[in-house]
Amino acid sequence: MSWSRVQDHRILGVLLGSLAVLAWGALWLGERGPLSHSLLHSGHAAHMGMSQWTMSAIFVAGWILMTIAMMLPTSSPLILLFHRMVGERPYAGWLIGLLVAGYLAVWTVFGLLVHLLNLALQAVAAGIPWLAGNAWLGSAAILLGAGVYQFSSLKYACLDKCRAPMSFLIARWRGAHPAGEAFRLGADHGIYCVGCCWSLMLVMFAVGTGSVAWMLALAAVMALEKNVPWGRRLAAPVGVVLIGGAAAVLIRQI
């Protein structure tokens, strides 16, 4: 399939937007179901009769939905530019699909690692009564860590890569082995995207993964950081707000 016409470029944008809307709709429906709480609390899931494998599968599925809803739209400039580069090739649609698959694969692996770390931390907290009774410490630590990371050089290095999609494509696309290069390009972009936004995604663990309103707010912040001319300057104020949120959680417990 060749997507070389101008109107096909618009169609690709509509397809990406529709995919994100469907993912947001699924998350909104999930917010009203009994499973959203189980994404964070394994004890609740066990009480519902879920096995660890079932809970893990639900978490990964929910994480993929969150990635499609929150992160894929922020990477649409790169996907649309890639379409312009490969639109004259046979199987252009397949190459774009591989690019997106590579991007989502990296975020899926990261989500699985987050889930395993979450389970390990819950197991540790369950064995320490004081920690189990002060769950607010986890929220404060996540907000503080995310706020501090907003000022890190690694954050800005990854953000700069995300903010320059054309340079990113030119540096990596050769076209000699299009299928492998497309998937690898998507994965490379996913790695930089994780490096830029992982801490903001983890804020969901502090405010609740079942909250679509918070997801929308965080998605808007990440989209602005990556895709508007003044977005780079937004990182520091967001960091201040997150650190202030950690302080507020602490003060509330005193």
Buried b (16+ CB within 10 A) or exposed e, 205-244: bbbbbbebeebeebbebbbebbbeeebeebbeebbeebbe
CA atoms within 13 A on the CB side of 174: 5
Please report how the helices 178-207 and 136-149 are oriented relative to each other, as an axis angle in degrees rounded to 10: 130
Residue 47, pLDDT score: 47
Residue 9, pLDDT score: 66
Residue 175, pLDDT score: 82
CA distance 114 to 125: 16
Residue 100, pLDDT score: 95
Cβ-contact 102, 190 below 8 angstroms: yes
Give the Cβ contact number of residue 107 at 10 Å. 25
Residue 46, pLDDT score: 47
Which residues in the chain come in under a pLDDT of 70?
Answer: 1-9, 31-50, 208-210
Domain boundaries, the chain: 6-253
Residue 145, pLDDT score: 96
Longest alpha-carbon distance in the chain: 64
The predicted-structure confidence for 40-98, as pLDDT tens digits, reads as follows 444 444 445 567 777 778 888 888 888 999 998 999 999 999 998 887 788 888 999 99
What letter would DSSP give residue 4? -
Residue 3, pLDDT score: 44
CA distances from 184 to 30, 33, 111, 135, 192 (A): 32, 36, 19, 39, 12
Identity of the residue numbered 130: W
